[in-house]
């Protein structure tokens, strides 16, 4: 696999893949300076985890004359997770229809994207402003609204770094937009509030096929350590075949890239959903180790951790990691669970 720099396209552009099952998202995460609070916020123009969308796409692919192609924008969504001390404080994955989605990039005014009341903007100095206003999936009694205003200020402004991590038949574009950001803002969930100060990350993914047809599994993680951000992204298009990336950034600029065919680690464990994972990983080339510990979130096809990184000279860093078991998507014995997490708010 060859590595390639960005061709100077806007990293936040709407790629807008059109094949049945195509999907796209703009991902942000942050960890507070004291390490207690972690946030993940995602804008989806097409949610690959929506069984209504995935199953309709698979039916259309199998028999296009009988089953119409679904409209990806009728499955746009906003995702929000807040973890404190590695326990969920608030969670939302809310789906909306196409008339609630808009995306504009203007050379003068920057990025302006919205899903219902959730607004993502990027100003000319590169700062991202995130406004979240959506119902939470109740963690305690009663439904609570999530309201948040967050600022992600990148350590440097650059054109992004991107790579197609898919295959010729199943393309998947990963765009590293702002790997190192200073993050500040406020979150309110019911009567709980948090003034947030920390460090964050932003990337953008666009897949040209239904996700379970594109990947068997993928592993992704990013860690901040001093002025450095280290990222791994390993994809398995089919079991036993993998390829991926190892990137290092200095103050938000990519300074080192290499292929990463696999991740080694501890003896595999298995979740109740049958996902095999390792809670410790390492990269031999850089003598880097990741201690993932217990997942902060898990479901029938994914796991998420707030982990620790250790370098060869005793350096330490914190980061967020995910594992997606894509071939679990749209399996009958898992699909009935998803509506408990995925909601369509009344508007």
The tens-digit pLDDT sequence of the chain (347 residues) is: 333 444 578 999 999 988 999 999 999 999 999 999 999 999 999 999 999 999 999 999 999 999 999 999 999 999 999 999 989 999 999 999 999 999 999 877 789 999 999 999 999 889 999 999 999 986 555 568 999 999 999 998 777 899 998 888 889 999 999 999 999 999 999 888 999 999 999 999 999 999 999 888 999 999 998 999 999 999 888 776 778 899 999 999 999 998 887 778 888 899 988 899 988 888 776 678 889 988 999 989 999 999 998 876 666 889 999 999 998 888 877 777 787 889 999 87
Structure tokens at 336: 């009935």
pLDDT in the model for residue 314: 65
Number of domains observed in the structure of the chain: 1
Q: How many CB atoms lie within 10 A of CB 66?
A: 8
Query: 284 — phi, psi (to 5°)?
Result: -60, -40
Is residue 10 included in any domain, yes or no? no
Cα 180 from Cα 244, distance rounded (Å): 21
- Tell me how far CA of residue 87 lies from CA of 39, 261, 278, in angstroms: 11, 32, 20
List, as own/partner pairs, every contact residues 48-53 make where C-beta atoms lie below 8 angstroms and the sequence separation is at least 24, other chains included.
48/21, 48/23, 48/207, 48/210, 48/211, 48/329, 49/93, 49/211, 49/301, 49/329, 49/338, 49/342, 50/75, 50/77, 50/95, 50/338, 50/342, 51/329, 51/330, 51/335, 51/338, 53/21
Residue 153, number of CB atoms within 10 A of its CB: 17
Both tokens assigned to 344: 């369509």
In a domain, 12, yes or no: no
Within a domain: residue 1?
Answer: no
Residue 304: the pLDDT is 97
Q: Give the pLDDT of residue 340.
A: 80
Model's pTM, two decimal places? 0.94
Q: Residue 82's pLDDT is what?
A: 96
Picking from 324, 343, 293, the residue whose alpha carbon sits closest to that of residue 87 is 293
CATH code, domain with 95: 2.40.370.10
* pLDDT in the model for residue 140: 54
C-alpha 118/C-alpha 284 separation (Å) is 41
Distances (CA, A) of 48 to 12, 95, 217: 19, 11, 14
pLDDT of residue 120: 98
pLDDT at res. 143 = 66
d(CA 331, CA 96): 23
Radius of gyration over alpha carbons of the chain, in Å?
Answer: 19
Residue 27 lies in a domain: yes
pLDDT at 2: 34
Tell me whether strands 302-310 and 288-291 are parallel, antiparallel or unpaired.
antiparallel
Helix (H) or strand (E) holding 212: helix 211-214
Assigned domain for 9 exists: no
In a domain, residue 166? The reply is yes
Assigned domain for 4 exists: no
Helix (H, G, I), strand (E, B) or coil at 335: helix
Is 147 a member of any domain?
A: yes
d(CA 122, CA 151): 10
Instruction: Tell how many helices (H) and how many strands (E) occur in the chain.
Output: 3, 24
**Which domain, by its residues, includes 43?**
23-340
Chain-centre distance for alpha carbon 313: 30
Q: In 3D, which of 222, 249, 248, 224 has the Cα closest to residue 233?
A: 222
CA distance 71 to 75: 8
Residue with tokens 């698979």: 58
């Amino acid at each position: 696999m060859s590595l390639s720099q960005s061709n100077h396209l806007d990293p936040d552009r709407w790629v807008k893949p059109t094949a049945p099952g195509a999907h796209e998202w703009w991902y942000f995460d942050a960890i507070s300076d004291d390490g207690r609070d972690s946030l993940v916020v995602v804008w989806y123009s097409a949610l690959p985890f929506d069984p209504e969308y995935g199953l309709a796409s698979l039916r259309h692919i199998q028999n296009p004359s009988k089953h119409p192609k679904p409209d990806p924008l009728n499955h746009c969504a906003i995702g929000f997770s807040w973890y404190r001390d590695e326990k969920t404080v608030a969670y939302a994955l809310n789906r909306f229809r196409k008339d609630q989605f808009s995306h504009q990039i203007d050379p003068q005014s920057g990025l302006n994207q919205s899903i219902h009341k959730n607004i993502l903007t990027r100003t000319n100095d590169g700062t991202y402003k995130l406004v979240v206003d959506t119902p939470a999936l109740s963690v305690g009694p009663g439904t609570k609204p999530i309201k948040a205003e967050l600022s992600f200020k990148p350590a440097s402004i650059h054109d992004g770094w991107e790579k197609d991590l898919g295959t010729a038949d199943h393309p998947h574009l990963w765009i590293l937009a702002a790997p190192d950001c200073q993050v500040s803002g406020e979150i309110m969930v019911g009567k709980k509030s948090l003034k947030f100060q920390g460090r964050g990350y932003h990337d953008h993914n666009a897949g040209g096929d239904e996700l379970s047809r594109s990947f068997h599994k993928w592993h992704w993680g990013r860690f901040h350590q001093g002025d450095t951000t280290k990222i791994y992204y390993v994809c398995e298009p089919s079991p036993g075949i993998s390829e991926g990336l190892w990137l290092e950034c200095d103050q938000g600029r990519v300074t080192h890239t290499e292929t990463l065919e696999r991740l080694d680690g501890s003896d595999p464990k298995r979740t109740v959903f049958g996902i095999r994972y390792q809670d410790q990983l390492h990269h031999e080339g850089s003598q880097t180790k990741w201690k993932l510990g217990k997942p902060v979130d898990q479901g029938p096809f994914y796991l998420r951790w707030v982990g620790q990184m250790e370098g060869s000279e005793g350096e330490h860093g914190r980061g967020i990691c995910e594992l997606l078991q894509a071939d679990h998507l749209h399996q009958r014995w898992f699909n009935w669970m998803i509506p408990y997490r995925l909601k369509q708010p009344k508007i």
